[in-house]
Structure 1
Amino acid sequence: MTSTEAKFGLFVPLVSQLDRAEDVAKLLDAGYDLALAEPETIQWFALKYANATPTTYAIFDTFATESGRSAHLSGKIAEALMAKAPKLLSPAPEIGQVEVLASKVKSSSDGKTAGLSVGLRVLIEAKPEKTQALKDFLISALPLVEEESETLVWYAIHFTGTNKFGIVDFFPNEGGRSAHIKGKVAAALFASADELLMGAPDIAKVDVQAAKVIA
């Protein structure tokens, strides 16, 4: 039986060329259909950044094993993305390999977006001597996230081989996102920013275009 605990992941921003945003969206729609057929891709999200210029999308996906991630990277979604990237994207996509430090995954629907509507992408960089401390902080935040009924999906991630981390989370509606932004996790992160981080968190609001969620 395939494990559904996310341990490994990929985060891939996709910046659309001028007037090609609709084509990128169609590519992501096709990617969703392909992701459904990948048993080792346990969660897969197509995102659109709110109010970004140029239009920017992203793919975030998770796997229980390194072999599952490797199979995805050599599969049909990656093949289609790389084949069409020169005509649709600028710059070429950078594939960020990540470790999933902690996660909460709760799907409320089986539809195309799995009951998710909006989300946040937060990038943070640890001071070199504080990398382990930031990792520990993110892991310790999970119980606070578990208390948030409208934070349905939440990941703390570490970009492999760097002192860069992230939080990727999703909500059923704007009310859930707003509550999270005003909640205990955000307050704790900003309270610790001067001690742990190189600079202010980079926070982007995203809309969920499609989501495969196995909880």
Structure 2
Amino acid sequence: MTSVGLFVPLVAKPSQTDAIVEFFNAGYNLVPSEPLTREWYAVKFEDSNPPSYALFDTFAAEQGRQAHLSGQIAKALLENASTLLDASPEVGQVDVLVSLVKPVKEAGSTAGVTKGLRVFFTAKPDKVDDVRNFLKGAIPLVEAEPGTTYWYAVEFPGTNKFGVIDFFPDDTGRGAHVAGKVAAALFGSAEELLTGAPELIKLEVIAAKVQ
């Protein structure tokens, strides 16, 4: 089971958008050298200005996360940060509360998905347990969505912040998810459980590896 992860947002220098895509493709080829990295996604925030990207990785345990942080991909990112990025990357450590991974045959360099969503939200202080339980209980609804290939509910430990990061084969799958029962329940409960409306960002998958 996946239990921990990393979410690393990256703001590229406008002149380096092609170079950062090349960096992600090089990172994709390094993932097999990290056997403890379960899933690895490199994404672009759609319609972002300045151009924004992110890396999202998952691990079965802390050992895998630490191995990744000291591995070749992280080292290459830090070495190239001043060239590629407007600011140093901020590494966000997350707990993966629950996840759903549907294996894809002949997945290619994007693990069978092209689109994604990053939905972050903050629980009211007295509703943290309720939000956590809501996310853990959402799996049956996600399983009923044939177009949702990978789905992760995450918590930023030590904060009231949570998120859902998920991936789809195409826009049709993403649209069905946005119009589906999980999204309806989350947004419908926002006033009761959250400090504000969830922040939804559409993602384009540049490269992904599910090991």
TM-score by length of 2: 0.97
Match in the other structure for 1:157: 154
Which residue number in structure 1 is paired with residue 76 of structure 2?
80
SS across alignment from 1:20: helix
Superimposed CA distance per residue, residues 164-208 of structure 1 (whole angstroms, 9 cap, x where no aligned partner)? 011000011110000000000000001110011111111000011
* 1:41-69, Cα deviation, whole Å (9 max, x unpaired): 01000001111011111000000010110
Deviations 1:75-94 (A, max 9, x none): 11111101111121122111
1:4-50 CA distance string (max 9 Å, x none): x2111000011001211111111111111111221000100000111
Rounded to whole Å, the distance in 1 between the matches of 2:65 and 2:157 is 14
What aligned pairs does 1:4-153 form with structure 2 within 5 A after superposition?
Answer: 5-108=1-104, 109-153=106-150
Match of 1:211 in 2: 208
SS at match of 1:19: helix
Alpha-carbon distance between aligned partners in 1 of 2:206 and 2:65, rounded to the nearest angstrom: 22
Runs of 5+ consecutive residues of structure 2 not aligned to the other structure = none
Q: Deviations over 1:71-130 (max 9, x none)?
A: 000111111101111121122111000000011001323310111010100001111111
Q: Paired residue for 1:166?
A: 163
- TM-score, with structure 1 as normaliser: 0.95
Segment drifting more, 184-193 vs 100-109 = 100-109
- The whole-number CA distance in structure 1 between the counterparts of 2:119 and 2:137 is 17
Which residue in 1 is equivalent to 2:185? 188
Local SS of the residue matching 1:53 = coil
How many residues are paired up? 210
**2-structure distance, mates of 1:123, 1:132:** 16
**Structure 1 stretches lacking a partner, 5+ long:** none
Question: Secondary structure at 2:201's aligned position in 1?
Answer: strand
Which whole-Å CA distance do the structure 1 matches of 2:29 and 2:89 have between them? 20
Q: State the AA in 1 paired with 2:100.
A: K
Q: Which portions of structure 1, spanning 4 or more consecutive aligned residues, are displaced by more than 2 angstroms? A: none
- Among the aligned pairs, what percent are the same residue? 53
